[in-house]
Chains A and B, each alone.
Chain A
Amino acid sequence: MADEIILLDFWPSMFGMRVRVALAEKGLKYEYKEEDLRNKSPLLLEMNPVHKKIPVLIHNGKPICESLIIVQYIDEVWKDKAPLLPSDPYQRAQARFWADYVDKKPYELGRKIWSTKGEEQETAKKEFIECLKLLEGELGEKPYFGGEKIGFVDVALVTFSCWFHAYESFGNFSIEAECPKLIAWTKRCMEKESVSSSLEDPHKVHGFVMGMRKKLGIE
């Protein structure tokens, strides 16, 4: 009996992209449904009544919400292929810690970079670079956060990289100049089909962010 997998998503969402990468890593076939967030589908409202947000994975009719929870679910159900979390409990705890860090810091700061001006933006840029440098430290000399292969933290963070061009453009700074190792890591990840086929074109994302800025009246 075949698995029925549906992903409710929104194309520029770095959270939705995490799920796309995980599904691709596991070689899973699924139906992608694009949501219009200004006009959410009855299916989305039914499957995520608490938050009404994407991504939502629907597996044989049962919904799972929150991107990192979905990625762990995928890893646990399809555990025989391309494991994303290590098997050792301590290593798993470290991976969860860093994925949680990615959710807590870079996301909010990135948002501030494209949606604020002046002092607030400068502070956000500075803190954002500090976060990325910390993550660079955690990466160390490993090819991926997961070691020899991409893992949970790679999936959590790499999807931000297609937003970097927008951050750099609206923040007027170069992430590569400050964090060359991290950018090298993003390029390494992009060599993998699961990543390159899941992330959006940075120029398309830039256009989307420009549209958001116009709507918010920031120009």
Chain B
Amino acid sequence: MAAISLQTATMAEEVKLFGTWASPFSRRIEVALKLKGVQFEYIEENLSNKSPALLEYNPVHKKIPVLVHNGKPVAESLVILEYIDETWKHNPILPTDPYEKAIARFWAKYIDDKLWPAATKVLVSKGEEQKGVTEEIQEQLKTLESELKGKKFFGGESLGFVDIAANIIVFLLVAQEALGLMEILTEEQFPVLHEWYQRLVDDAVFKECVPPRERHLGFFKVRFGSSTASK
């Protein structure tokens, strides 16, 4: 058994991110750290062979992402995002007003509680069921769209908490393309959200934090391919 030595606090900031290249949750943390210009060491985990370090830093869930700051671990992507925002205060991703903050937290939770489960379901369902889940996702996207209210991003002029959480949509659309699924975020049905989406994927920081396209398409084909294609 490998000896595990936790890094002791040093004069310099030591920031490590345990993640996986294809996980939207892991990529969220990259976006936040890059927005704040925080230097970090990235450790790619193999989820079928988790490192002793990961198991030590997140014994409760044994999942990525985990942020380790000067030896102290923080787990759960939305919790990590808030930690990052409170620790490195420039380029804030959450509003300062408590009400606006509550709204941002509400929508991030909505994305994780509703959109994420539906997105994972659409990849494994077939036929009528898949059609049903797609419609469900589209209703959720309509609900999200109404929250944009003429802003460039959910966070206002620049990327914020909800935009970062909404990276799941990017992953969903890559999956849709990889598996030949029914088109989800059409410009016709979602004129406002579609524009936001283009802005998001063009954002200088955000676009550094998405999985490499070809590899990502391949990932979905291998994992969920076969007979799921339905138009």
Contact = CB atoms under 8 A, between A and B. Distances in A.
Q: What 7 pairs across the A-B complex have the smallest Cβ distances? A: A89-B86, A76-B98, A93-B83, A73-B102, A93-B74, A96-B79, A64-B102
B69 interface: yes
Contact of B99 (A73, A89, A96): A73
A64 to B, nearest CB: 5
Nearest to A104: B61
Interface in A36-89: 50, 59, 62, 64-66, 69-70, 72-73, 76-77, 89
B79 A93 contact: yes
Given A66-B109, A73-B102, A76-B101, 13 more contacts: A64-B99, A69-B106, A72-B102, A73-B98, A90-B72, A92-B82, A93-B74, A93-B79, A94-B74, A97-B75, A97-B79, A100-B78, A134-B60
A11 interface: no
7 contacts: A66-B105, A69-B109, A76-B98, A90-B72, A90-B83, A93-B83, A96-B82
Contacts of B78: 100
A62 B99 contact: yes
A101 interface: yes
B136 interface: no
Interface of B: 60, 69, 72, 74-76, 78-80, 82-83, 86-87, 98-99, 101-102, 105-106, 109-110, 143
A65 B98 contact: no
A40 B147 CA distance: 24
B110 A50 contact: yes
Given A64-B102, A76-B101, A93-B74, A101 B79 contact: no
A49 to B, nearest CB: 9
A134 B60 CA distance: 8
B74 A70 contact: no
A132 B100 CA distance: 34
A195 to B, nearest CB: 23
Contacts of A96: 76, 79, 82
A39 B79 CA distance: 35
Nearest to B103: A64
Contact of B102 (A50, A69, A93, A94): A69
A101 B110 contact: no
A59 B106 CA distance: 16
A89 B110 contact: no
Nearest to A73: B102
Contacts of A97: 60, 74-76, 79
A208 B60 CA distance: 33
A5 to B, nearest CB: 13
Contacts of A72: 101-102, 105
B143 A93 contact: no
A131 B60 CA distance: 10
A36 B82 CA distance: 35
Interface string A127-138: 000000010000
Contact of B86 (A65, A76, A92): A92
A70 B75 CA distance: 22
Contacts of B102: 64, 69-70, 72-73
A22 B79 CA distance: 21
